[in-house]
């Protein structure tokens, strides 16, 4: 029995893969793996884990290199135990947050890769590491919310190209059973050019990939669940402005880091410009306004919230279901990533239906304003499903013919007004005198404000003794979004149409590269919601330059990536630069037309010139790419010839990765070398072996013309040494040397006689 066990272990040892000795392959694989690890770690705040994983991976590769020829059974045992621990930790983290398994999966992959780095004896194990690095890059891409991932992707392609080349080189060496002395300098240029071409071609393909609208996002991620009971009082708390749980009428100092409309009081005399810092990144099935605070009480100088005691709603497990008074028809799925500390306001498209939030309790008021019991810290993630009222215009108009009756018998909340000038009431009647239902009246007021009053962020403060909307309509005649929204709400209330003012954010700028909407402080906005029986609350935006019905008929985005990127770049360029470029383009067209007219050239318009410039640019890029491909083809032929030589017989033989040591190579390999020397010298007298010829075919043609028997014999000895399993001893090697000596004398004599 003991003998059988020993024999079984012996067979297992024979089946072990040969260790991988290539240092360049191991270094390239390590760099590729580190690129995947760092790309994943950079997407989350894991400082302790980052140092441990990176240092552990480097140490693991070093240990694997040192002990590549050892059995390492004790290392494998320790790694198996640690991998079991990593799996238990993964399941524990997964149970804490089953709605977003990406972070637990990232932890697991990072630990497995680190542990696996300590056991990489063979090339197959290095290949597993390359696959893991690729998976980590995919995970990092799913977690990425900024364009730094693109930098890691470029480095990953570069490092993996080196790794794949040396991997293939190692496979050829193993098949030929020889080790090659290949200088890294001879292949670096080719690899760099290959990586550059891959990036260029990949970039072009990426630009023209269609992205279709309407992707439904599942599952919905949410931050780690916090079990909170009895926390918070349901009041708005903005960390950038003073907090009060009472109705206030005094203003506070402007803070450019935060929108003053996200407080319990909206002061219409507040002045200042918000910065462009990103506050929220959002994944959404479509662009939609982010509803924040709902104001229903107007005092002539600002807006307040009358419901000071919101109700709480809880759920043991996500989602938190919200009651919909008037459910919409269009499902909007949104995932919010908080980029900096924000008020405890839960932003969402209207109306919210299901909320996946880090706490099991939230607050809501009668206006369906949602509040968190805790502030929204940086890194908070929550998801929400809403149903927007994207009902067609004609259908809303038809339903709005009915008598406008609010639910809860609380119309007074949305018709309340302070003392209003008769001029304001008369203007409302004049605007709507030709319309017979509430919806068309609301649309008439919205369009009137958009078409008759300009948008201006630099208006001076209004007089404190005048009602804001009156001064805006008849004195200042310009203002910003809060003035337009307030004026529309007041005009509609004078007509008996329930309305309320909303503050929040627009959907920001869509970044087609990351797939996120980037919402900045400067995207803060105010608009109006108007109530219609049978329909519910419909949003209107009277500010010039915005869609009057923000949720109805949103503009469809172009499915082409290149178009989306161009639009994103346009949004990122400051307006003053855009205006300067526009003026410069107009001046260029003007001078070009003058030049064309002076030399009697056909008159060209701007569009044709622009198209010609685009065509010229695309043509130049195409020519450049073909140039690279032609150069690559030429270098590719050299590589193909090099590989063919590797697969047939390498010229430089060695027993390692140092200088050639032909004496230590053995008789078999030295016979190969003699054969290649024969081929090299026969070229000097006009006999060149073609790639398609076999050794025997070449020997037949050369010996037939020259009549030298040594060519036949040396070729036969080469075929025996190259393809047979026969033992090649020193006697056969000495015969080959003697034949080569005779053949060399004949070649020299023929060259001396002028190849006659």
Lowest mean pLDDT, pick from 212-216, 301-305, 465-469, 598-602: 598-602
120 has pLDDT over 80 = yes
Dihedral of CA atoms 363, 364, 369, 374 in degrees, nearest 10, equals 0
The predicted pLDDT at position 442 comes to 92
Place of tokens 């639910």: 407
How far apart, in whole angstroms, are the C-alpha atoms of residue 735 and residue 717?
9
Closest CA relative to residue 589, chosen from 567, 565, 605: 605
- Which token pair is 468? 């804001």
The tokens describing 378, both together, are 């940086």
What are the b/e assignments for 698-716, b being 16+ CB within 10 Å? bbeebbeebebebbebbbe
Judge if the upstream peptide bond of residue 102 is cis by omega within 30 degrees of 0: no
298 φ, ψ (degrees, to nearest 5): -115, 125
More confidently predicted of 266 and 389:
266
98, pLDDT greater than 80: no
State how beta strands 370-371 and 311-314 pair: unpaired
Q: Of 277-291, 523-537, 683-697, which range is least confident?
A: 683-697
Q: How far apart are CA 589 and CA 616, in angstroms?
A: 17
Q: What is the DSSP string of 333-390?
A: EEEEEE-S-B-SB--BPSSEEEEE-SBSEEEE-TT--EE-SS-B-TT-EEEEEEEE--
605 token code pair: 């318009």
Q: Which residue has the higher pLDDT, 571 or 51?
A: 51
| Residue 262 CB-half CA count within 13 A | 29
Residue 706: pLDDT band (50, 70, 90) is confident
Residue 75: how many other CB atoms lie within 10 Å:
16
Report the percent of the chain where pLDDT is more than 90: 15
Is residue 97 predicted with pLDDT exceeding 60? yes
Tens-place pLDDT, residues 320-345: 888 765 566 788 889 999 988 999 89
Query: Helix, strand or coil for residue 397?
Result: helix
Q: Which residues pair with 293 in a beta bridge?
A: 503
Judged by phi (left if over 0) then psi (alpha if -120 to 50, else beta), residue 600 lies in: left
Which are the contacts of 433, defined by CB distance < 8 A and separation ≥ 6?
none
- H and E: helices and strands count for the chain: 21, 17
Residue 551 buriedness (CB in 10 A; 0-12 / 13-18 / 19+): buried
User: Is 338 in a helix, a strand, or coil?
Assistant: strand
pLDDT in tens, 157-199: 888 988 988 888 888 777 766 656 666 666 777 778 888 888 8
Residue 297 above 80 pLDDT? yes
The pLDDT mean for the chain works out to: 77
Core vs surface per residue 208-237: b (16+ CB within 10 A) or e: eeeeeeeeeeeebbbbebeebeeebebbbb
- Alpha-carbon gap, residue 439 to 437, rounded angstroms: 6
| Residue 655 CB coordination number (10 Å) | 15
**Is 0.85 surpassed by the pTM of this model?**
no
| Direct distance between the N- and C-terminal alpha carbons of the chain, in angstroms, rounded to an integer | 75
Residue 38 token pair? 């760092």
8 A C-beta contact, residue 296 and residue 306: yes
- Say how far apart CA 377 and CA 381 lie, in whole Å: 9
Q: What is the pLDDT of residue 211?
A: 64
Mean pLDDT value across residues 373-401 = 79
Question: Is the bond preceding 329 in cis, omega lying within 30 degrees of 0?
Answer: no
284 contacts 334 by C-beta, under 8 angstroms: yes
- Residue 50: its H or E element: helix 47-66
Supply φ then ψ for residue 129, to 5 degrees. Answer: -65, -40
pLDDT for 7 beyond 60 = no
Is the peptide bond preceding residue 645 cis, with omega within 30 degrees of 0? no
- Give, in order, the Cα–Cα distances in Å from 275 to each of 256, 259, 511, 521: 6, 10, 19, 6
Residue 548 backbone phi and psi in degrees, to 5: -65, -30
How far apart, in whole angstroms, are the C-alpha atoms of residue 147 and residue 509? 14
> pLDDT tens, 635-686?
444 444 544 444 443 333 333 333 333 333 467 778 877 888 888 878 777 7
Q: 371: which strand partners?
A: 345, 363
Q: Are 287 and 517 in contact (CB under 8 A)?
A: yes
Do the beta carbons of residue 262 and residue 345 sit within 8 Å?
Answer: yes
Please give the radius of gyration of the chain, using alpha carbons only, rounded to the nearest integer: 38
**Residue 728 clears pLDDT 80, i.e. is over it:** no
Q: Which pLDDT value is given to residue 195?
A: 81
Structure tokens at 633: 């083809």
**Which of 221-230, 254-263, 539-548, 695-704 has the weakest average pLDDT?**
221-230
pLDDT of residue 549: 78
Identify whether the C-beta of residue 581 lies closer than 8 Å to the C-beta of residue 570: no
> Exposed (0-12), middle (13-18) or buried (19+): which is 652, by Cβ within 10 Å?
middle
Residue 91's pLDDT is 84
| Residues 279, 285, 289, 295, Cα dihedral to 10° | -100
* Better pLDDT: 592 or 460: 460
H helix or E strand, kind and range, residue 643: helix 606-648
What pLDDT does residue 469 have?
Answer: 92
Most trustworthy range by pLDDT among 170-174, 521-525, 566-570:
521-525
Q: How confident is the model at residue 603 (pLDDT cuts 50, 70, 90)?
A: very low
- Residue 64 · residue 120 · CB < 8 Å: yes
Average pLDDT over residues 482-508: 93
Residue 600 has pLDDT above 50, yes or no: no
Look at residue 280 in the predicted model and tell me its pLDDT: 93
Other beta carbons within 10 Å of 530: 27
pLDDT digits (tens, 9 = 90+) for 127-153: 999 999 999 998 888 888 777 788 888
Q: Is 358's pLDDT higher than 60?
A: yes
Alpha-carbon distance of 119 to 62, in angstroms, equals 10
Residues 6+ apart with CB under 8 A from 419: 300, 467
pLDDT at res. 511 = 81
SS3 category, 540 = strand
């Amino acid at each position: 029995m003991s003998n059988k066990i020993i024999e079984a272990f012996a067979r297992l040892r024979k089946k072990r893969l040969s260790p991988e000795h290539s240092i360049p392959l191991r270094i390239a694989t390590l760099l590729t793996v580190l690129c995947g690890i760092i790309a994943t770690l950079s997407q989350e705040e894991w400082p302790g884990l980052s140092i441990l994983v990176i240092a552990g991976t480097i140490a693991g590769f070093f240990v694997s290199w040192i002990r590549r020829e050892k059995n390492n059974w004790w290392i494998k045992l320790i790694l198996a135990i640690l991998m079991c621990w990593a799996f238990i930790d993964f399941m524990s983290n997964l149970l804490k947050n089953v709605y977003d398994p990406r972070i637990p999966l990232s932890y697991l992959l990072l630990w497995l890769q680190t542990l696996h780095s300590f056991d990489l004896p063979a090339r197959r194990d290095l290949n597993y590491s390359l696959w893991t690095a690729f998976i980590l890059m995919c995970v990092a891409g799913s977690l990425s919310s900024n364009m730094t991932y693109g930098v890691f992707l470029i480095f990953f392609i570069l490092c993996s190209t080196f790794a794949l080349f040396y991997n293939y080189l190692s496979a050829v060496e193993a098949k030929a059973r020889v080790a090659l002395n290949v200088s890294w300098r001879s292949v670096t240029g080719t690899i760099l050019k290959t990586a550059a071409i891959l990036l260029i071609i990949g970039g072009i393909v990426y630009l023209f990939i269609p992205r279709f609208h309407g992707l439904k996002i599942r599952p919905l991620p949410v931050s780690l669940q916090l079990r909170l009971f009895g926390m918070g009082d349901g009041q708005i708390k903005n960390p950038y402005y003073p907090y009060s749980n009472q109705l206030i009428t005094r203003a506070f100092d402007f803070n450019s880091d935060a929108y003053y409309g996200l407080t319990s009081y909206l002061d219409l005399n507040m002045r200042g410009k918000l910065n462009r810092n990103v506050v929220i990144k959002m994944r959404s099935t479509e662009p939609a306004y982010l509803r924040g605070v709902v104001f229903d009480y107007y005092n002539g100088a600002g807006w307040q919230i009358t419901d000071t005691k919101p109700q709480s709603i809880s759920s043991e497990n996500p989602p938190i279901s919200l009651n919909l008074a008037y459910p919409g028809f269009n499902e909007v799925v949104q995932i919010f990533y908080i980029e900096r500390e924000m008020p405890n306001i839960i932003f969402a498209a209207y109306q919210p239906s299901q909320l996946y939030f880090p706490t099991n309790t939230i607050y809501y008021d009668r206006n369906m304003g949602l509040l968190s019991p805790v502030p929204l810290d940086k890194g908070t993630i929550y998801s929400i499903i809403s149903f927007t009222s994207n009902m067609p215009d004609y259908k809303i108009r038809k339903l709005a013919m009915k008598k406008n009756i609010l639910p809860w018998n609380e119309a007074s909340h949305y018709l309340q007004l302070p003392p209003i000038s008769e001029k304001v009431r008369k203007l409302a009647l004049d605007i709507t005198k030709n319309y017979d239902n509430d919806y068309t009246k609301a649309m008439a007021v919205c369009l009137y404000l958009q078409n008759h009053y300009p948008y201006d962020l630099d208006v001076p403060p209004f007089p404190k003794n005048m009602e804001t909307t009156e001064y805006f309509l008849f004195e200042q005649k310009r203002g910003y979004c809060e003035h337009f929204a307030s004026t529309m709400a007041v005009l509609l209330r004078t007509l008996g149409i329930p309305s309320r003012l909303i503050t929040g954010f627009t959907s920001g700028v869509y970044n087609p590269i990351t797939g996120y909407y980037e919402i900045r402080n400067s995207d803060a906005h105010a608009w109006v919601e108007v109530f219609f029986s049978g329909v519910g609350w419909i949003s209107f935006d009277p500010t010039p330059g915005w869609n009057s019905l923000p949720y109805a008929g949103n503009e469809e985005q172009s499915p082409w990536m290149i178009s989306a990127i161009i639009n994103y770049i346009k949004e990122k360029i400051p307006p003053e630069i855009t205006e300067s470029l526009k003026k410069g383009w107009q001046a260029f067209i003007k001078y070009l037309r003058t030049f064309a007219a002076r030399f009697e050239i056909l008159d060209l318009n701007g569009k044709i010139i622009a198209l010609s410039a685009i065509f010229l640019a695309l043509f130049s890029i195409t020519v450049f790419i073909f140039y690279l491909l032609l150069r690559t083809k030429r270098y590719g032929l050299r590589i193909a010839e090099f590989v063919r030589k590797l697969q047939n017989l390498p010229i430089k033989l060695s027993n390692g990765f140092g200088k050639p040591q032909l004496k230590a190579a053995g008789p078999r390999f030295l016979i190969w070398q003699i054969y290649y020397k024969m081929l090299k010298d026969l070229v000097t007298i006009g006999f060149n072996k073609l790639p398609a010829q076999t050794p025997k075919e070449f020997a037949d043609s050369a010996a037939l013309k020259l009549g030298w028997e040594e060519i036949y014999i040396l070729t036969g000895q080469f075929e025996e040494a190259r393809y047979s399993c026969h033992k090649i001893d020193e006697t056969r090697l000495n015969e080959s040397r003697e034949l080569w000596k005779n053949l060399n004398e004949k070649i020299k004599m023929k060259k001396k006689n002028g190849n006659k």
